Amino acid sequence: MKTWIEINKKALQNNISQFKKLIGKKIKLMAVVKSNAYGHGLIETAKIVINSGADWLGVDSIDEAIKLRKAGIKTPILILGYTLISRLADIVKYNLRQTVYSKETIDELGKQAKKQKKKVYVHLKVETGTSRQGLEKEELLELAKFIKKYPQIKIEGAHTHYANIEDTTDHTYAKKQLNRFKQAIGLLESNGIEVPIKHTACSAAIILFNETHFDMVRLGISMYGLWSSKETFVSAKEKSRKIKLEPVLTWKTKIVQTKRIKAGTPISYGLTEKVAHNSKIAILPVGYWDGYDRKLSGVGNVLIKGKRCKILGRVCMNMMVVDVGHVRKIKLEEEVVLLGKQGKEEIAADELAQKIGTINYEVVTRINPLIPRIMV
């Protein structure tokens, strides 16, 4: 392999263990493995988290869910995203749970459940202030009553998502959303509609607010050892939340060539950078096709023999160039760390995110899913 991802099994298990202790034994834990488990590998990650105590899995799409079922996973799976009407037969076939907020979806699920002679379980999506998927309480009640037309469909749960719980230390808006969710659930229950599993908490909410836990929590980014944001870290510290997250992912590659170049020699496309003095460079077989962001051109670093090595010039589609003049005794196919630890040095997802103006979620999730994921 020219490039690969190593997944630290113990770090993943440790992160889950900490959150299990935080929520207690009565509350279920959903491990969110959508988008290739935030870049960590869907099947590989799912198997570990289930063995580590996850009660449910959360995905975005029907295709992710089917992959998990075909891999032999029988754990309850909730599809958090939209499923096309034409694909709803597979919800019933593979015993999946679906997030719902439209009568069209309910109509088709009802038909498919009757046709296949099975029950299907749905989770209502409550709109509380994110302005994305979901219904506000009056429309939600109308949909819940509509579902009663289909005896094969059971309302198993209801959930919402916070718009601003992790990007701030002022959680006023999140608390308003929590109250709106409670009101919506109250309206349903006062009309005789039971909601067995209520869930609202993402990683930040799990850490910061016990009142968001309800019957189940949805553990996402922090399961992978990453903080939702600096603000979440600060808020957790202020609340004396003792939790230590261990990054799970290390991204590696190998040196495929080294060469010496003279001062003034331009590097890579566009001649955007010239070396200031006689230098030694290394060629790495990784580029933006692999998910290594082009905006790291000229500003990113990699680790070789525990030393930081600057990226020179533009990151290309399938390769990039780094300065190795300060690293001694480099061999062909020397191991390189693009993201993670090597020796005493570390390149964190947050560092890369800051340099390219994004969030750590995007850094790890956009790593090409075709790159092999290896458990270590």
289-303: pLDDT as tens digits: 999 999 999 999 999
pLDDT over 90 (residue 206): yes
3-state secondary structure of 190: helix
**What is the spatial distance between Cα 143 and Cα 195, in angstroms, rounded to a whole number?**
14
The contacts of residue 294 (CB under 8 Å, 6+ apart) are 288, 314, 315
- Asked whether residue 242 carries a pLDDT value surpassing 90, the answer given is no
- The band of 304, judged by pLDDT with boundaries at 50, 70 and 90, is very high
> pLDDT value at position 344?
96
Q: State both tokens at 114.
A: 């009757």
Query: In the structure encoding, which two tokens stand for residue 366, read together?
Result: 């956009």
What per-residue confidence (pLDDT) applies to 46?
98
Indicate the SS3 state at residue 75. Answer: coil
Question: In the structure encoding, which two tokens stand for residue 120, read together?
Answer: 């299907």
Nearest to 7 by CA among 245, 354, 356, 249: 249
Whether residue 58 has pLDDT greater than 90: yes
Give the model's confidence band at 333: pLDDT under 50 very low, under 70 low, under 90 confident, else very high.
Answer: very high
Residue-range domain boundaries for the chain: 9-238, 249-347
Stated pTM of the model: 0.95
Rounded to the nearest angstrom, the gap between the alpha carbon of residue 275 and the centroid of all alpha carbons in its chain is 38
Range 308-329 average pLDDT: 97
Q: From the CB of residue 209, how many other CB atoms can be counted at a distance below 10 Å?
A: 19
The residue with tokens 């994110």 is 130
User: For residue 348, what pLDDT is reported?
Assistant: 98
Residue type, 253: T
Angle at 188 between CA 187 and CA 190, to 5 degrees: 65
Predicted confidence (pLDDT) at residue 98 exceeds the cutoff of 90: yes
Q: Is the pLDDT of residue 114 over 90?
A: yes
Active site residue 259: no
- Predicted local confidence at residue 127, as pLDDT: 97
For the ranges 73-77, 184-188, 224-228, 238-242, the lowest mean pLDDT is seen at 238-242
In this prediction, residues 153-158 reach a mean pLDDT of 98
172 pLDDT above the threshold of 90: yes
Indicate if the pLDDT at residue 316 is higher than 90. Answer: yes
Angle (deg, nearest 10), helices 9-23 and 42-51: 50
Rounded distance between C-alpha atoms, residue 201 and residue 328, angstroms: 49
Burial of 134 (0-12, 13-18, 19+ CB in 10 A): buried
Q: What is the largest CA-CA distance in the chain?
A: 79
Cα separation values, 78 from 42, 54, 95, 274, 328, Å: 14, 13, 10, 52, 51
**Distance between CA 291 and CA 317 in Å, rounded?**
9
Tokens, residue 168:
């701030």
Residue type, 276: A
Please pick, among 118, 230, 259, 269, the residue that the annotation labels catalytic: 269
> Alpha carbon of 236 to those of 19, 43, 173, 206: distances in Å?
13, 31, 18, 10
Helix (H) / strand (E) containing 91: helix 88-93
The pLDDT > 90 percentage for the chain reads 98
Answer yes or no: CATH 2.40.37.10 is held by domain 249-347. yes
CATH number of 9-238: 3.20.20.10
Average pLDDT for 263-269: 95
Structure tokens at 253: 């590659």
Query: Positive or negative CA dihedral for 45, 49, 51, 54?
Result: negative
pLDDT band at 16 (very low <50, low <70, confident <90, very high): very high
Q: What is the DSSP string of 161-186?
A: --SSSSS-S--HHHHHHHHHHHHHHH
Q: How confident is the model over 354-359, as a mean pLDDT?
A: 97
Distance CA 298, CA 304 (A): 17
What confidence score (pLDDT) does residue 123 get?
98
Which residues contact residue 122 at a Cβ distance below 8 angstroms, ignoring those fewer than 6 apart?
Answer: 97, 98, 99, 100, 106, 109, 147, 153, 154, 155, 156
What mean pLDDT value characterizes the chain?
97
Active-site residue flag, 94? no
Residue pair 299/311 in contact by the 8 Å Cβ criterion = yes
- Which pLDDT belongs to residue 218? 98
Contact assessment for residue 309 and residue 327, using Cβ atoms and an 8 Å cutoff = yes
**What does the pLDDT read at residue 134?**
96
User: Pick the catalytic residue: 34, 125, 254, 305?
Assistant: 34
